[in-house]
Each structure stands twice: as structure tokens, then as C-alpha cells.
Amino acid sequence: MEINALARGYLINADGIIEQTFSPGKYSLELCSVAYGKLWRFDTEGLPADLIRRYLTLEH
């Protein structure tokens, strides 16, 4: 969890390394997260539901 917190602070924050390197402009990651937020559901994509779904997918 520590490494995830550091990544959020340095890599994927607004105007962070990832945004400066790979994105077309300032706040583009924020815009992507808003668009992605309309599709992503915590009850099915978050833990543990996501792990259970992956496990069941591998079984069949």
C-alpha cells in the first residue's frame, strides 16, 4: 500500500510524471478518470469482488 500511495503522489497525480510524459496536456488524466468513473463500479471491480471474478474466470 505504501508503494501505491507513493505512485499516486508522484506518478499519476495531476501534473505528475505520467501526465507530463504520456498525456497530451495538463489535467488529461483527470478527464480520463471522470470518463472511466462512469463505467467503473466499486461493487464489481473493487476487492474482493474483482479477485473472485478473476478466479472464477480462470476455472472455466
The per-residue pLDDT for range 3-46, each reduced to its tens digit, is 888 888 878 777 778 777 776 777 777 888 888 888 888 888 88
Q: Going by C-beta distance under 8 Å and a sequence separation of 6 or more, which residues neighbour residue 26? A: 14, 15, 19
How many Å apart are CA 6 and CA 3, to the nearest integer? Answer: 5
Does residue 33 sit within a domain? Answer: yes
pLDDT score recorded for residue 4 = 86
Give the C-alpha separation, 31 to 24, whole Å.
11
Whole domain around residue 31: which residue ranges? 1-54
Number of domains in the chain: 1
pTM for the model: 0.39
Longest CA–CA separation in the chain, Å: 43
Residue 37 lies in a domain: yes
Distance CA 32, CA 27 (A): 9
Q: Does residue 60 belong to any structural domain of this protein?
A: no
In this predicted structure, what is the pLDDT of residue 23? 65
**pLDDT reported for residue 54:** 92
| Any domain includes 9 | yes
Whether residue 59 is contained in a domain is answered as: no
Asked if residue 55 has pLDDT above 90, the reply is yes
State the pLDDT at residue 51. 92
